[in-house]
Amino acid sequence: MKRRQLLLGVASVAGAGGLLGPGAFTSVQADRSVNVEVADDANAFLAMEPMNTPNGDEYASVTADGLVTVDLTETDAGGDGLGVDSTYTFDDVLQVTNQGTQPVYVWATFAGGGDLGNDDIWLYPDSDPSTKLNDGSNSVAYLPVGESLAVGVRVNTDGLDAAYDRDLTATINANVDDQGSKPSDPGGDPIDGPVDGLVSYWRLNDLDGSGTGTTIDAVGSYDGTVEGPVGVADGVEGGGAAEFDGDNDVISTDLNIGAAGESVTVAGWLKAPSGQGIGNNHFFLSNYIDQGHDGFFAIGSNDGQEMFFWTRDPSTQTSKKTGRTDAAFDGDWHHYVGVRDAENEEIRFYVDGSFVDSKSFPGDVAIRDSDSTFGLMQHYDNRYLERYVDAVRVYDRALTGSEVQTLCDVHAPSAE
């Protein structure tokens, strides 16, 4: 937890016009002075700095004492205070970075503002002032290790007295435990379901159907690269999904996960048409990219009717494949989850939230090669599956059965 000062000067209506140059704020933003102190050792995992943006350059600076100060009392354009009965939103003023060893939830509250309370002023992620990062019934931001969050400030001055400035204290919190709010990704969109250990999450609702470009990793840094004619379809989450026609189209990433002793959970939704004839192994989600890779994990099928979860280590080529399930290529959405539980030395497979099978598998071996990377519908030798994929997640821990059911429930298919 870090305490910061926020000083707000409120101008009268008559003095409000033209206080800030139009290039200095995003909508009609204004706030005053935010002093962010350098973290002590207990809180050094949370770093803050001014952003290299118009608002960051105009309002944020670092003092000789190492304080990050956001001063909105004046501008180079001659602005001098916020107008009353107005709403101001400043995008991209500060950057918050998780430099610790665990993902954290970040939010802020304000005190000492008198008639200016937490319903009037809040921090928000990126360019989404409707997302209140102030906990309670609103939002917190989920910030993975090494990731950064662009933070803006929203202020509503309705009914405020312009006769005096407000000197507020902002308490900025970072906690490894969810505080009862629905966490948001760095883009401000809520993340439902389990988030502890979530390494990557591809919503797949940002594809444009061009067959090129990327799809954003909502929580990590492993954006997917579109290769081939990947199209767009209606998704299980009510947004978009990726459509694969089975003709040299995949989405690849740089995520290399599955070291010796490391647990992994891979999950995603697949809607495959019935009658898709395949005569050998085809993978839905995997880190298997060619025959030269002996270590891998994969959810797939070898007949178009049944699905499995398969793991193999590169050293001894110990290989285990779970029992199969007949919920597969029937034209409906199904949720598949493969779990490699290193601690309990087993792999588990779930379909539509229900446990299917487990197999013993050593925990001290890898399920990857040094250059194995995770992808969607990727395999080798023209083994490409078709059709729709949505809401793919990878965790660096083993989800429990109840967590798998929760994950399935929050992404229930849209009614058709």
Assess whether 48 and 160 both reside in one domain: yes
Q: What is the pLDDT of residue 379?
A: 65
Assess whether 153 and 120 both reside in one domain: yes
Q: Where are the alpha helices (DSSP H) in 13-167?
A: 54-59
- 3-class state of residue 222 by DSSP: coil
Residue 193 within a domain = no
Q: What is the pLDDT of residue 371?
A: 73
Confidence (pTM): 0.62
Assess whether 175 and 203 both reside in one domain: no
**Whose CA is closest to 202, among 188, 222, 183?**
222
Residue 40 within a domain = yes
Distance CA 250, CA 378 (A): 5
- Which CATH number is 213's domain given? 2.60.120.200
Residue 87 within a domain = yes
Residue 416 within a domain = no
Residue 190 within a domain = no
Residue 136 within a domain = yes
Assess whether 125 and 251 both reside in one domain: no
Assess whether 47 and 154 both reside in one domain: yes
Residue ending a domain, choose from 123, 156, 184? 184
Assess whether 240 and 154 both reside in one domain: no
Q: Where are the beta strands (DSSP E) in 166-304?
A: 166-175, 182-184, 198-202, 214-215, 224-227, 231-234, 240-243, 250-252, 264-271, 282-286, 296-301
Q: Which residue type is seen at 403?
A: E
Residue 162 · residue 96 · CB < 8 Å = no
Assess whether 286 and 160 both reside in one domain: no
Assess whether 223 and 171 both reside in one domain: no
Assess whether 375 and 324 both reside in one domain: yes
Q: What is the pLDDT of residue 24?
A: 33
Assess whether 169 and 245 both reside in one domain: no
Q: How many domains are contained in the chain?
A: 2
**Whose CA is closest to 36, among 8, 79, 71, 73?**
71
Residue ending a domain, choose from 159, 184, 209? 184
Q: What is the pLDDT of residue 39?
A: 38
- Domain around 28: 2-184
Assess whether 84 and 220 both reside in one domain: no
Residues in the chain where the model's pLDDT stays below 50: 1-44, 136, 415-416
Assess whether 260 and 175 both reside in one domain: no
Alpha-carbon torsion (336, 249, 314, 305), positive or negative: positive
Q: What is the pLDDT of residue 356?
A: 93
Residue 208 within a domain = yes
Residue 376 within a domain = yes
